[in-house]
Structure formats: C-alpha cells, structure tokens
Amino acid sequence: MISLRRTALSAALSTAFALTAFMTGPAHATGTGILGVSVTARYTAGHTSPMTGATVVAVNLDSGVQTPLSVFGNPGTSGYYQAVDLPFGRYHVRIERSGFATMYWPRQYSPDTAGAVVFGTSAGCNPGDAAVCDTHLFTAEVPQLLTVSGTVRHRSGAAVPNVVVSAQRDDEPTFRPAAITNLNGGYALQLPGGAYTLRTPNGASAVEAPVALSGPVSRDLVLLDPPAPPAQVAADMGNRQVTVSWQRPLDDGGAPISSYTVTASPGSATCTTQTLTCTVLGLQNGQEYRFSVVAENKIGSSAPSVASRVVAPSTALPSPVADVRLVPSDRSLDVTWSASPSDDILEYTAVASPGGRSCSTAALACTISGLRNGTAYSVSVTARSQAGVSTSVMSSKHATPSAAPSAPRAVRVTAKPSALKVAWNEPLTDGGKRITEYVATAWPGGRSCRTDGKTSCVIRKLDASVDYSVTVRAANVGGAGATSPGSVPTRPLSGPSAPRKVTGLRVKVKKSQAIVRWRPAKAATSYWVRIKRSAGRAGNWVVVRRPVAQFSVEAGSYIAQVRASGSGGPGAIRKQRFVAR
C-alpha cells in the first residue's frame, strides 16, 4: 500500500485523500513543501504475501526526478518501501521485480496511460497544515508475467526472421511491448495476464491475432502475400476503346482481391475494377496496343500479367449474320445462323427473349439452355470482332421448348365382353405442348387402343380367362412420355364383344334424298342409322341389315350417325357431317 507519513525533515503535513480523485487531474500542486512516501507491495489481489526484492521508484512528472524507495526492515522478508523529502507534485509510482509485470500506480502497465497521483493538493495537505496524513491509498498488486511465444512464417512455411511482433493490451492500448523474431522466425513476449492483439507488419498491412493470457500460450503468425498475376488476358477492340477481360489469379495470396488495374502499352491509359472485365477509354483508332493486368489485395499488388495480343481500336463494326433458325427441345433451343461476311469474327452470341439467356461460340450454332418449357421464345444473334459488336438479327419465327408429357394418372378399367374399357386422368404436366396421343396397353399380350387426346378407349379381342393389367402413356411433339403404373388386374367378361366402329362413312345428297353408306363391319348383324340437324335433336335409330340407308332431307346442315350391332351388343358411333342444298 502507498501511504503518506509526516517526516522529520519537513513541517509539511498531509491529510487523507482518495485515489480516484487524482486519476484524471493533470494540475500541478497548489502548495509547496516536502513529504514522505511509503509503499507496501504484494503479489496479486487476494494475497497478503509481501513482494520482496522489488525496485520501487517515485517519478516526479513535473521535474522528471526519480526517487528510489528503500526497503524498510529485513530485505529478505519485507515488502515495505519508503522515501522522504519528496517535493509536492504529480507522481507515478513504478514497481519492478524480475519475473513480474512492471506496474505504474495508479494500476497501469504503461506510463502513457497511467494517471498521476498528486501529492500536496488535498485539503489539509498543504504547507503549514498540522493534520497527520497516514492513510492507505491503494494496494500494489503486481501480477506474475506469462509467456506468449510462436513463430512468424510465410504461407509456404518459410521462417521470417528480424521482424517485430508487438502485443497491444486490449484495455490499455498504450501498453504495447514488442519482440524481434530470431533467425528461425521465433519470438517470445513476457506479459501480465489479460487480452491482447498480436501484430506483425505484412506488406501494406499487418497480420493480427487475438490472444487471451491466463497461462503460457503458443501462437504462430502467418504472413500473407500479394496475389499472383491474373491469367488469360483478352482484349476486344471498339471505337477509341478496348474491353479487356481476364481470369482470376491462381493464388490470391491468402487475402481477398480488392481490385484489378488494366494498363495500356504504349501510353499510360488505365482502368480499375473489382470485376473481371474493364474498358480502357481514350485510345487512338488505328494504334496498336497491348494490355496487362495487375491484381491487388490488402498486402500489395501482383506482378503484371502476361500482356494481351495486339489490338487496334477501329470504327468499323462487323456485318450482321443472316437466317437465324431455331429447333426446340427439352428446356433448350438449338440456334443456327449463316456467317457474317466480315473478316476476323471472334465470337457469335445468341440471346433468347424473354429471359435473356444466351450462348456464345466461334462456330455457327449453339444451344441456349435453362429455358421454360411451354414458353415461346425469339432469339437474336450478334457477331463480334476486334472492332466491336454487329447489329443483332432476330429469328424469323418463335420456338417453344417442350418435353415429353408425364405419365397419365388414375388408370381405371371396366370389364366388357372380350374387351376392357380404359379411362384415365391427364398427366400432371404436358411438357409444354398439347398431348396428341394416348396409348393404353393390356398386359400380358400387349394389345392396345389409341386416342388422339381423349382420355378413354376400349381394348378389344382379349381372352376372357386372363386377368389383364393396363398401362397408359401420353405423347406430344416432344415424344412419348412415361408410362403409368399398371391398373388393378381385371378379367374381361365372357361372350362376344360388340362390333368395332364402322369405317368409310360417307353421305351423298341428291334431290332432297340423303344416301348414307359405310363399309361392312365384322361381327355385325345389323346397323343403327340416324340423321339430325346440326343444331337440332337427334331422331330415332333406323335398323338396317345392309351398309346403306336413305333419308329425306330439306336444305340445311346435318350429322349422320352409324353404329354396328352384333351378338355382343351395339358398337361405337361413327359420325359424318353433310349439307343438303
């Protein structure tokens, strides 16, 4: 503890004062005189063991005079230090001992941070005062030093000798001890416990690492590097400008690349960007240039890249392409075109609208992918040379990407004589195009029926002693889709089936008579025939034995209907429209 005692050499007396009253005030003492100072030092808070063998110094901040405090009592056991004849003024009290942190009281590790204790300014502590000052002010708690050590090395693993490693205390930034690495890149710092930031210079920046000391700590520091040069530098000319592009460096040096700078040669025209392309402006048409690129991160700049090929800005743009054609497929369009008549075409680009998806090539065809099935697209194509980009040419027709439909759903089967009637629900997706066909197939055997988009049909000529499972698939212009799961096995009814739908139905009108004819149907014993006006109700069926029937008609539009009938019942109806005049 630090205390003030009345000395035999001075009439100056001092009274008690609080430490916090002197932590911020830089004022000089208001009085003059001399006084005595004593310090009791111990190791850390909560311990009463005296700190023996310490060096205690009172530093006068006004005059710079340093006054040692001598040990009082047995040096081997005493932690009590004192001095007399100190002038009034502002002081730091410094306590040092090998193996322990140097402390500046009030309780700091750095003299730049520590506040001053001002002796002689408190009431009752001025010359002539008769009061006795013998009050403990604060305890000198001196923590033991801890070691933080490690190596400084490059990312390659090579040691970095003769560089400074500093440790800045988080709660006292002016306390910043440092060490220099040895030939093997090693360093060691003796620090009081607490939180620090280790730091060593690294190019235009520094490598930093947080460390919390409560015991010995090992912490290596790895220096980062400037990036490698950018690669594959390409240059495309325009009118008084050149657009330069490149690939990222193979190595960013361990730190993100912050910018790229492109430089033209000859001359000094530049452009800077954070992307992988940049346009250098203000160039001279007809002048040949090369371009190099430098990458930069927080450590520094790369070496310049390999220069681009020679290009010369020009005002002459390439001629456009011709005859842009589209072939749709699943979520894509195959695009073809006729070449631009201009020389030195570097690339063609096809762009789909809507959406803006594109493909680029040096050939005369490419595929635009990632499109939406069922959406109609047009495509524009441009040609690019060193001089710039041509006007675009649009495809003459739209095209719609499509895929085969998904499988039909909920297949249902109804038993008929020697046949199965099959019905189903439409697929969840039609692939972007109208479904043009369904095919229902009975297994075993593979007999089938087809429709042009209707969701039911009849599979005939089946064995009434066999259980059949039926699958259905849909098709569109994109092809045949997936097959549905098989239906519940179903056995056809025994007995003959109804005749199939008649074919060859035709109507001839002559003198108010409509003559209806058709081809004979297998298994038909009779035919049902009727006609009706297109907008009217159907009349009664007329049963005939031969494939011909005659009706009286008036002028108007009619529909003729015919179905064959046999021992298995009537078959499906065939219809034919006709007009009587």
Residue 474 CA to residue 478 CA, distance in Å, equals 11
Give the range among 33-37, 87-91, 282-286, 410-414 with minimum mean pLDDT. Answer: 33-37
214 and 176 share one domain: yes
Q: Into how many domains does the chain fold? A: 6
Which tokens in the block code for residue 456?
């039911």
Q: What is the pLDDT of residue 581?
A: 87
| Residue 20 backbone dihedrals phi, psi, to 5 degrees | -65, -20
Q: What is the pLDDT of residue 231?
A: 95
**Residue 491 falls inside a structural domain:** no
CA-based nearest residue to 439, from 399, 411, 397: 411
Report, as an integer, the average pLDDT of 291-319. Answer: 92
Q: pLDDT band at residue 467, thresholds of 50, 70 and 90?
A: very high
Q: What is the pLDDT of residue 443?
A: 95
257 and 378 share one domain: no
Residue 353 CA to residue 475 CA, distance in Å, equals 27
**Residue 304 falls inside a structural domain:** no
**Residue 550 falls inside a structural domain:** yes
Report, as an integer, the average pLDDT of 419-439. Answer: 93
Which tokens in the block code for residue 499?
């005749």
6 and 112 share one domain: yes
Q: What is the pLDDT of residue 502?
A: 93
**Which residues lie below 8 Å from residue 422, measured CB to CB, with a gap of 6+?**
411, 412, 413, 414, 440, 449, 456, 457, 458, 459, 470, 472, 487
Percent of the chain with pLDDT over 90: 56
197 and 122 share one domain: no
41 and 66 share one domain: yes
Percent of the chain with pLDDT over 70: 85
Q: pLDDT band at residue 288, thresholds of 50, 70 and 90?
A: very high
Higher pLDDT, 72 or 139: 72
Q: pLDDT band at residue 377, thresholds of 50, 70 and 90?
A: very high
User: pLDDT tens digits, residue range 546-558?
Assistant: 999 999 999 999 9
What's 557's domain CATH number? 2.60.40.10
CA-based nearest residue to 308, from 387, 397, 220, 234: 234
User: pLDDT tens digits, residue range 567-581?
Assistant: 777 888 999 999 998
Domain boundary among 116, 141, 166: 141
Give the range among 83-97, 157-171, 403-417, 494-508 with minimum mean pLDDT. Answer: 83-97
**Residue 380 falls inside a structural domain:** yes
Q: What is the pLDDT of residue 79?
A: 75
361 and 342 share one domain: yes
With H, G, I as helix, E, B as strand and everything else as coil, classify residue 19: helix
Residue 399 reports pLDDT greater than 70: yes
Q: pLDDT band at residue 37, thresholds of 50, 70 and 90?
A: low
458 and 566 share one domain: no
Q: pLDDT band at residue 50, thresholds of 50, 70 and 90?
A: confident
Report, as an integer, the average pLDDT of 232-253. Answer: 91
Residue 129 CA to residue 476 CA, distance in Å, equals 113
Q: What is the pLDDT of residue 239?
A: 81
Higher pLDDT, 45 or 402: 402
91 and 28 share one domain: yes
Q: pLDDT band at residue 34, thresholds of 50, 70 and 90?
A: low
Q: What is the pLDDT of residue 25?
A: 26
**Residue 313 falls inside a structural domain:** no
**Residue 314 falls inside a structural domain:** no
Give the range among 9-23, 229-243, 451-465, 558-572 with minimum mean pLDDT. Answer: 9-23
Which tokens in the block code for residue 117?
């204790």
Report, as an integer, the average pLDDT of 60-81. Answer: 83
**Residue 301 falls inside a structural domain:** no
364 and 386 share one domain: yes
User: pLDDT tens digits, residue range 170-179?
Assistant: 888 888 899 9
134 and 149 share one domain: no
Q: pLDDT band at residue 29, thresholds of 50, 70 and 90?
A: very low
**Averaged pLDDT score across all residues of the chain:** 84
Residue 9 reports pLDDT greater than 70: no
Domain that holds residue 273: 231-296
Residue 78 reports pLDDT greater than 90: no
**Residue 316 falls inside a structural domain:** no
Q: In angstroms, what is the C-alpha Rg of the chain?
A: 50
**Which residues lie below 8 Å from residue 490, measured CB to CB, with a gap of 6+?**
413, 414, 415, 420, 467, 468, 469, 470
Report, as an integer, the average pLDDT of 491-516. Answer: 89
Residue 244 reports pLDDT greater than 90: yes
24 and 99 share one domain: yes
Residue 383 CA to residue 401 CA, distance in Å, equals 25
Give the range among 21-30, 102-111, 115-124, 481-490 with minimum mean pLDDT. Answer: 21-30
Q: What is the pLDDT of residue 454?
A: 95
Q: What is the pLDDT of residue 150?
A: 95
Domain boundary among 200, 223, 246: 223
Pair 2, 133: CB distance under 8 Å: no
Higher pLDDT, 33 or 71: 71
468 and 511 share one domain: no
Residue 325 reports pLDDT greater than 80: yes
Ranges of beta strands (E only) in 354-451 are: 358-361, 365-369, 378-385, 388-389, 393-394, 409-416, 419-425, 437-443, 448-451
Give the range among 155-164, 384-393, 463-472 with minimum mean pLDDT. Answer: 384-393
Q: pLDDT band at residue 41, thresholds of 50, 70 and 90?
A: low
Give the global pTM. Answer: 0.42
Q: What is the pLDDT of residue 139?
A: 43
Q: What is the DSSP letter of 40?
A: E
